[in-house]
Chain A
């Protein structure tokens, strides 16, 4: 009985470890692509809460 239980948990454990590895690789893939896309895209400019008259002049 104990041997069976031990074997069942051992098999489940190795399966879970594999799923964990795949998930970790998936996260690493998304992280890597994010870093690449940020580093290859030009500077990102967002609204910075600072009044810039130059932008207003351009729009007129």
Chain B
């Protein structure tokens, strides 16, 4: 709510009552920061820190995670600022704070820019300039390359834009070590390749929303059949990449078993989706696609949690003496 409106309320006409629109609440600000995306970013960045070969002081690691979360929050607010017009057209997003009128667009922009600048600056102080630079690039990638440039122009928006969500484990690793290695690159690959099947499954059952908003998601442009084939194709590429970290220094038996189980589930779900025709999907209100979408969230969390478990086992000396490190 603007100051002017508040002053008007204060000056308040005699008839004024308590129907003065409420200022943005804490929940509105939290929603602006995309808490679900933030939780994924936090988890993957934390894993990047935990599995890195150089140990960070827990408080410094915590401070770095606060910065990375603030960066994610800032880019989320910038995304909501820019996308307010199309968010208002989609059932899934029309109750977001800006299109619903609970937070002004300028406030979202100011919050997004403020959090972005602050998070990058503080990460440079708490960790190192390399981690801060990658965080800055990630925010730029999500807010400008994906949101402003790709999202409304190409059905490959999710494929390329997925990189923004894939950077956090690299940022965590960089914060801890100051450098990069094969392991964070594989974690990047895992999230990068996971993003398209995850969002295309969502797009299959939110097709009407995206069509109404004019967002060229894959089902809108190439149709459902093509999207179903692409989900299977990306899942086939994703599975070996997801298994690969098991054979690096950060892998272990827990990760290997978890990855085998989750990737079997992923391929099974992708195969089911690819075999279904659009009419069958519509007839049962996209049950399989919705289940695959939910499973894909568990899939990603499962891989990263397994890495933490293996790191813990190594830490307490319960990991196998010899592990097959091929990469």
B6 interface residue, CB < 8 Å from A?
yes
Q: Find chain B residues with CB under 8 A from A30 CB.
A: 122
Question: In the assembled complex, how far is the CB of residue A44 from the closest CB belonging to chain B, in whole angstroms?
Answer: 17
Interface size class of chain A, counting residues whose CB lies under 8 Å from the partner chain: 10 to 19
Q: Are A33 and B20 in contact (CB under 8 A)?
A: no
Contact of B9 among A4, A15, A33, A37 (CB under 8 A): A4
B126 interface residue, CB < 8 Å from A?
yes
Q: Are A33 and B66 in contact (CB under 8 A)?
A: no
A40 interface residue, CB < 8 Å from B?
yes
Q: Find chain B residues with CB under 8 A from A18 CB.
A: 26
Q: Are A29 and B23 in contact (CB under 8 A)?
A: no
* A1-B16, A8-B9 known; A33 vs B26 contact (CB < 8 Å): no
Q: Are A29 and B66 in contact (CB under 8 A)?
A: yes
Cα(A42)–Cα(B63), bound, Å: 21
Q: Are A8 and B59 in contact (CB under 8 A)?
A: no
Cα(A22)–Cα(B22), bound, Å: 21
Q: Are B18 and A33 in contact (CB under 8 A)?
A: no
Contact of B12 among A1, A15, A32 (CB under 8 A): A1
Question: In the assembled complex, how far is the CB of residue A25 from the closest CB belonging to chain B, in whole angstroms?
Answer: 9
Question: In the assembled complex, how far is the CB of residue A34 from the closest CB belonging to chain B, in whole angstroms?
Answer: 10
Mark contacts of B35-73 with chain A using CB atoms, 8 A cut-off: 1 yes-contact digit, 0 otherwise. 000000000000000000000010110010010000000
| Interface residues of B, dominant DSSP | helix
Q: Find chain B residues with CB under 8 A from A27 CB.
A: none
* A18-B26, A36-B57 known; A8 vs B20 contact (CB < 8 Å): yes
Chain A, Cβ-Cβ closest to B1: A11
A3 interface residue, CB < 8 Å from B?
yes
Cα(A37)–Cα(B12), bound, Å: 53
Q: Find chain A residues with CB under 8 A from B66 CB.
A: 29
Excluding A4-B16, A12-B6, A33-B126, 12 further A-B contacts by CB distance (< 8 Å) are A1-B14, A4-B9, A4-B12, A5-B12, A7-B20, A12-B23, A18-B26, A29-B63, A29-B66, A32-B59, A33-B59, A37-B60
Q: Find chain B residues with CB under 8 A from A5 CB.
A: 10, 12
Q: Which residues of A1-60 are within 8 A (CB) of B? A: 1, 3-5, 7-8, 11-12, 15, 18, 29-30, 32-33, 36-37, 40
Interface size class of chain B, counting residues whose CB lies under 8 Å from the partner chain: 20 to 34
Q: Find chain B residues with CB under 8 A from A3 CB.
A: 17-18
Chain B, Cβ-Cβ closest to A5: B10
Q: Are B6 and A40 in contact (CB under 8 A)?
A: no
* A32-B59, A33-B63, A40-B57 known; A11 vs B12 contact (CB < 8 Å): no
Top-9 shortest CB links A-B: A4-B16, A4-B12, A33-B63, A36-B59, A36-B57, A32-B59, A1-B12, A29-B63, A8-B10
Question: In the assembled complex, how far is the CB of residue B96 from the closest CB belonging to chain A, in whole angstroms?
Answer: 20
Cα(A29)–Cα(B118), bound, Å: 13
Cα(A32)–Cα(B122), bound, Å: 13
Chain B, Cβ-Cβ closest to A2: B12
Q: Are A4 and B59 in contact (CB under 8 A)?
A: no
Cα(A54)–Cα(B26), bound, Å: 61
Cα(A15)–Cα(B28), bound, Å: 12
A1, A3, A15: residue with the most chain B Cβ atoms closer than 10 Å: A1
Question: In the assembled complex, how far is the CB of residue A31 from the closest CB belonging to chain B, in whole angstroms?
Answer: 11
Question: In the assembled complex, how far is the CB of residue B97 from the closest CB belonging to chain A, in whole angstroms?
Answer: 15
Contact of A11 among B14, B23, B57, B122 (CB under 8 A): B23
Chain A, Cβ-Cβ closest to B57: A36
Q: Find chain A residues with CB under 8 A from B9 CB.
A: 4, 8
Cα(A33)–Cα(B9), bound, Å: 44
Chain A, Cβ-Cβ closest to B26: A18
